[in-house]
Amino acid sequence: MIPFLDLGRINEPHQARVREATHRVLQSGWYITGREVEQFERQFAHFCGTRHCIGVANGLDALTLVLKAWDFPANSEVIVPSNAYIASLLSVTLANLSPVFVEPDPHTYLLDPSRIEAAITGQTKAILPVHLYGRCCAMGPIRELAERYNLLILEDAAQAHGAIYDRQRAGSLGDASGWSFYPSKNLGALGDAGAITTNDDLLADRLRSLRNYGSSQKYVNDYIGHNSRLDELQAAILAAKLPYLTTENEVRRKLAKLYLQGIDNPDVLLPPTDQVEQDVWHLFVIRHPRRDALRLFLQERGIGTDVHYPIPPHRQRAYKEYAHYSFPVSEQLHREVVSLPLNTALTEREVSYIIDTINQFGG
């Protein structure tokens, strides 16, 4: 049996480091916003190439807090991809802003710059590109539009730890970026954790306050804040794992290349190969017109898969008000995508077996 994801196996190489980090935090007697968080923030900002990193409780909060910190007038519009994970959309509506959906590029599944301009109105304040599956959006053209229309850019980098666009790392490509360190991400904590990276000093100050009850001085509150702190334990674990991220991304890339070279089933659509080295392969997503039958076929042969994601955001019950929208590109993607196992615990032999099994399907 090859599970889609086995987090225990993925964290096994880090066991000694994680034990050492947790022991240190336990002994310190200091568990919330202390030296471990500061040190991880410094390390992660350096990794991304930004001046600031602000640790927060999770990825959704990271995105929401940035949008709140920007303090746009109520119902200002934010451009979001129509095919992403629900968190990107949630952050917009939780900040009392209005999402404007833009269809993705049908080849990269990422926000399509050529469709953005038509979605911009007098109310538009920001663009929220999601670096879905580990590949950066076309940030050059997106930044040009943002400059031309005076819009801010919030990257959703929750799937793109270490991804590169034009020699720069994800997290440094817009005005601010939201990160998640949910256990299954390329850099994963042992619980919930998140962060924001930015080069904006004022925004960073405001976010440090907003994550901590809107307070930068104990018992003095400047904003209606959240309690969204990254804790010392998770920060220490993340700091222990961060030095291995680049090597781990290399392992993912190597396995992704095996899939790209090996899968030759004519009905399978592979991910684009023009940025193999810049992509960090958070997920290896293929398409098949009979996706569910393919999943069953793989399941019967001991191969676990997952779907990212089965229901487009505008078709979720939580967002009935968008149910009448029609996004054919997104809807087709949500029907056809399937994610194959791809992680640092997977062996080349397992990947060969998965490739052979996929190539046998439907023949």
Q: What residues make contact with ligand PLP under the rule CB under 6 A? A: 58-60, 84-85, 87-88, 130, 156, 158-159, 180, 182, 192, 194
What minimum distance in Å lies between the beta carbon of 290 and ligand PLP? 26
What minimum distance in Å lies between the beta carbon of 131 and ligand PLP? 8
Residue with the shortest CB distance to ligand PLP: 59
Report the SS3 class of residue 99. strand
Cα–Cα distance between 52 and 291 in angstroms, integer? 42
Q: Which is nearer to ligand PLP, 143 or 161 (CB)?
A: 161
Q: Which is nearer to ligand PLP, 36 or 61 (CB)?
A: 61
Continuous segment of H or E residues that includes residue 141: helix 139-149
Q: Which is nearer to ligand PLP, 164 or 258 (CB)?
A: 164
What minimum distance in Å lies between the beta carbon of 87 and ligand PLP? 3
Strand partners, 165: 168
Q: Which is nearer to ligand PLP, 132 or 340 (CB)?
A: 132
List b or e across 235-264, with b for residues whose CB sees 16 or more CB atoms inside 10 angstroms.
bbbbbbbbeebeebbebbbebbebbeeebe
No. of H helices and E strands in the chain?
13, 11
Q: Which is nearer to ligand PLP, 60 or 355 (CB)?
A: 60
What minimum distance in Å lies between the beta carbon of 109 and ligand PLP? 12
Residue 273 CA: distances (Å) to CA of 47, 77, 146, 200, 257: 25, 33, 27, 34, 9
Is 174:139 a contact under the CB 8 Å cutoff?
yes
What minimum distance in Å lies between the beta carbon of 84 and ligand PLP? 6
Q: Which is nearer to ligand PLP, 284 or 294 (CB)?
A: 284
Cα–Cα distance between 192 and 179 in angstroms, integer? 11
Neighbours of 223 (CB within 10 A): 16
Q: Which is nearer to ligand PLP, 87 or 268 (CB)?
A: 87
What minimum distance in Å lies between the beta carbon of 317 and ligand PLP? 19
Phi, psi of 23 (to 5 degrees): -60, -45
320 CB contacts (<8 Å, ≥6 apart)? none
What minimum distance in Å lies between the beta carbon of 257 and ligand PLP? 23
